Structure 1
């Protein structure tokens, strides 16, 4: 084994340690790369990514030379692992190219304000690999390769872009979903029926984004008391194994007049929500434990939750949380100030229509 893989002259034992370290980093990097391409299939990792940002979802659509980044990442780490065992001098070239790639990807994600946990992890693995491969005499060689790679990736990295106006005009327009026709259960509604502004919320109790926005919702509703009607609709995603069951439990709590209080506890817990925990929440709110337990064990509201999911499909909702204000879909997830601005705007529009 060449002494290339170590930062200073060492024994054969030191070479072997460095080689094994790089190999382990390669295995970890390849695993993370593959997982980044399949993370949406695994609820736990999807939750982790969503809690961090939507960067994972955005980078999933990135390509380089026509290949998804996760495929190139897995191939890169496989190539690096092979080089340290069979042709060590090539490791400097491979790691240098990897540093440039990760630098450009980091720059892109920072500009988009969409950090990706998988990208960060693989960036760390590449830097650590460079630490094991680096020797001072190879500094300029590695730097030149990193700069070249940075430029090439900058030119070749492709991101999904919205359709051009001409393309959009050619697409067949879809009818706007009629939110006013959605079936409404008054137990899951706050505010008067004649309020000038109606907000419809589609949410999931295991969705990290739903938890964050729930804090803003609790603050904004009292500000518009009497002028705002808030309608809650369940939309538990399949990737969240406890979400549908939690939605049933909240409806069981509604039987005893504690829907909104129970909802607060679900969002606060957010993680795994087994039946034992759902029953603990009921006890915490002073609900009739026997009635609540029977409601939950008999799946009393399973069909109702499934019907709410169908309502979401009919409204073309594809993510949580999703909001409609007076029938108009909201882009993204509003902050407290964003909600206030949009509701104020809807109030002004409602006032203008009456005049």
Structure 2
């Protein structure tokens, strides 16, 4: 006699193609999350998302790709613990695939409800992308595959399945097991500072405890250390403290919010720290640099900072910090006077709410507050700030403050040196120029593979310098003449590896396709042809002529007219060399490289060589680095 329950379950089983399609969709979602997870683990830009190019010239400073923006958003990690959403996605899609497979094309029992909740999560995160105006390709693939899977499960999948407890147990074990593997990956595969900078290389930037010995009458002549101390506002803690923290922050900045939470936990455990605050706000209303570049990433930031300043005026430093903490809790956003009332209550200034609201109620920032915030922004620019938060301990920047827990580690390291109590008036930070130099001196040491397509200038035993870039791009044309001059003087041995941004020559290029840079591709081809013909000196001469020309496209055209034989030749071998150089550039992404040109000077990566100061003058880090290389 047949078992009616088994009969029902067999008849409810969907066709094999439904089972296979569901598994395939989960594998696609799993793989997409895997790309994002690997980026989190390796702390590198997201691969395969396009864009994300940063060009060193003044013509373009392009922001990261949509995937990088998603990775940096407040929704990319769980609050407090900082566990990446992509890791959760990997474990979830693996568990869902396991449930679907064992259930033979069915989401059984509570798994069906969990699947629907996961679908709502995908819809929410898609809405976040639309609201914030970016497209993360891998996120879209993962969410799209998830929603397609749910549609398949609801329309074609079965509802009854065998052994529901066993299926759910397997699902839980899969989720937990993969999460455990991701924890191990975070512990053992995430790059440590020793991976990119040997400990012996930390020898240039002065220790925090050495700062007090610097004579402020002399440091200005060095150009690398500021002649005025770094002091913030609204000090918490003793005026004379062994550990003195000055923080540039932004109430709408997700990383600032996370670091603020870390700081609150630190202050709850220690009483030997003084904390002072300044603002660097990515808002056009009170940041001249943001207005010049038309950046309004945090449109409410100036207003939030102003409210904090006013709370401090009425309630003192503690009220300022509590108001700032409340603003972080709402991501710096408020749309009406009523929305600020909880913040006023937390800061203890509810009695002054009408005064504070009256100061901002006309829709114009109070002139005195705007002036203070603009001065903060100018100071941040002149310190080399290009992200927030920016933290200084006893005058020295905590450069890895964006890494979770880095601020606490830096404070413990400094505390172990037994620093003496002092005021922030004795703390002298590096200038923007000093930061450029120390970034290079403390930077990673990538192992570049040999490039037979490179052209080399200078004597064989000189200090090595390598440039990867497009000779039509602005940053290349700014930096390489200085390097070429140093090579001609015997100071360095300069190796040029041409990497055109023009997709007609470099199909893998994800850089902006600007017309004024298009000639760089043809230049790379002609120089490559000369070198392949054995005319290395001719290749170098053409390179020099194009680099110094005020009209390089015309100069290149005149050269081609004198060598018409080059036009009809096969170019595939040169294009293969370009592809090889592009692969070398792509390998540097693990060190945070996203743009051109790439400079590796004396084995160290120089991520930035010039900063435009608040007064419009450049801080020329490359010239300073060349002085150091010449003396080494």
**Gap change, CA 1:340 and 1:271, over 3 Å in 2:** closer
Say whether residues 1:306 and 2:368 are aligned partners: no
- Once the 2 structures are TM-superposed, how far is the Cα of residue 212 of structure 1 from its aligned partner? 1.8
Decide which of 192, 200, 222 is 2:246's aligned counterpart: 200
- Once the 2 structures are TM-superposed, how far is the Cα of residue 291 of structure 1 from its aligned partner? 1.3
2:331 aligned residue: 270
Q: Deviations over 1:154-174 (max 9, x none)?
A: xxxxxxxx9999xx9xxxxx9
- Once the 2 structures are TM-superposed, how far is the Cα of residue 341 of structure 1 from its aligned partner? 3.0
C-alpha distance in 1 between matches for 2:377 and 2:408: 28
Decide which of 235, 246, 252 is 1:189's aligned counterpart: 235
- Once the 2 structures are TM-superposed, how far is the Cα of residue 261 of structure 1 from its aligned partner? 1.6
TM-score (norm 2): 0.30
Say whether residues 1:281 and 2:343 are aligned partners: yes
C-alpha distance in 1 between matches for 2:65 and 2:252: 14
1:236 aligned residue: 281
C-alpha distance in 1 between matches for 2:407 and 2:197: 29
Asked if 1 retains the 8 angstrom alpha-carbon contact of 2:245 and 2:275, the reply is yes
Aligned with 1:181: secondary structure?
coil
Decide which of 111, 121, 136 is 2:140's aligned counterpart: 121
Say whether residues 1:260 and 2:321 are aligned partners: yes
C-alpha distance in 2 between matches for 1:193 and 1:52: 38
CA RMSD of aligned residues (A): 4.5
- Once the 2 structures are TM-superposed, how far is the Cα of residue 351 of structure 1 from its aligned partner? 3.7
2:269 aligned residue: 223
2:407 aligned residue: 339
1:296 aligned residue: 360
Q: Deviations over 1:106-154 (max 9, x none)?
A: xxxxxxxxxx954232355579899xxxxxxxxxxxxxxxxxxxxxxxx
Range moving further from structure 2, 344-353 or 305-314: 344-353
2:529 aligned residue: none
Aligned with 2:417: secondary structure?
helix
Decide which of 38, 45, 50 is 2:73's aligned counterpart: 50
Q: Deviations over 1:199-237 (max 9, x none)?
A: 111111111122122221111113221x21111111111
C-alpha distance in 2 between matches for 1:42 and 1:290: 43
Aligned with 1:199: secondary structure?
strand
Asked if 2 retains the 8 angstrom alpha-carbon contact of 1:36 and 1:118, the reply is no
Asked if 1 retains the 8 angstrom alpha-carbon contact of 2:240 and 2:421, the reply is no
C-alpha distance in 2 between matches for 1:268 and 1:163: 35
1:70 aligned residue: none
C-alpha distance in 1 between matches for 2:421 and 2:242: 11
**Gap change, CA 1:340 and 1:123, over 3 Å in 2:** closer
Aligned with 1:256: secondary structure?
helix
C-alpha distance in 2 between matches for 1:124 and 1:207: 26
Q: Deviations over 1:259-298 (max 9, x none)?
A: 1121121011115323522355335642312211222236
C-alpha distance in 1 between matches for 2:335 and 2:71: 19
Asked if 2 retains the 8 angstrom alpha-carbon contact of 1:235 and 1:309, the reply is yes
Asked if 1 retains the 8 angstrom alpha-carbon contact of 2:262 and 2:408, the reply is no
- Once the 2 structures are TM-superposed, how far is the Cα of residue 48 of structure 1 from its aligned partner? 7.7
In structure 2, the gaps of 5 or more residues are 1-15, 18-48, 54-60, 78-134, 150-194, 202-221, 283-295, 423-632
**Gap change, CA 1:294 and 1:347, over 3 Å in 2:** same
Identify which of structures 1 and 2 has the higher relative contact order when contacts are C-alpha pairs closer than 8 Å and 6+ apart: 1
- Once the 2 structures are TM-superposed, how far is the Cα of residue 53 of structure 1 from its aligned partner? 4.6
C-alpha distance in 1 between matches for 2:305 and 2:297: 15
**Gap change, CA 1:122 and 1:332, over 3 Å in 2:** farther
Asked if 1 retains the 8 angstrom alpha-carbon contact of 2:231 and 2:276, the reply is no
**Gap change, CA 1:179 and 1:53, over 3 Å in 2:** farther
C-alpha distance in 1 between matches for 2:245 and 2:396: 9
Asked if 2 retains the 8 angstrom alpha-carbon contact of 1:42 and 1:239, the reply is no
Aligned with 2:314: secondary structure?
coil
Asked if 2 retains the 8 angstrom alpha-carbon contact of 1:256 and 1:287, the reply is no
C-alpha distance in 2 between matches for 1:53 and 1:224: 30
2:156 aligned residue: none
C-alpha distance in 2 between matches for 1:353 and 1:264: 27
TM-score (norm 1): 0.51
**Gap change, CA 1:176 and 1:326, over 3 Å in 2:** farther
Greater per-residue helix proportion: 1
1:151 aligned residue: none
Asked if 1 retains the 8 angstrom alpha-carbon contact of 2:255 and 2:388, the reply is yes
Matched ranges for 1:1-355 at <5 A: 40=63, 46=69, 49-53=72-76, 117-123=136-142, 125=144, 176=224, 178=226, 181-185=229-233, 188-225=234-271, 227-237=272-282, 238-257=296-315, 258-270=319-331, 272-276=333-337, 277-278=339-340, 281-282=343-344, 285=348, 286-297=350-361, 299-300=365-366, 301-330=369-398, 331-336=400-405, 338-351=406-419
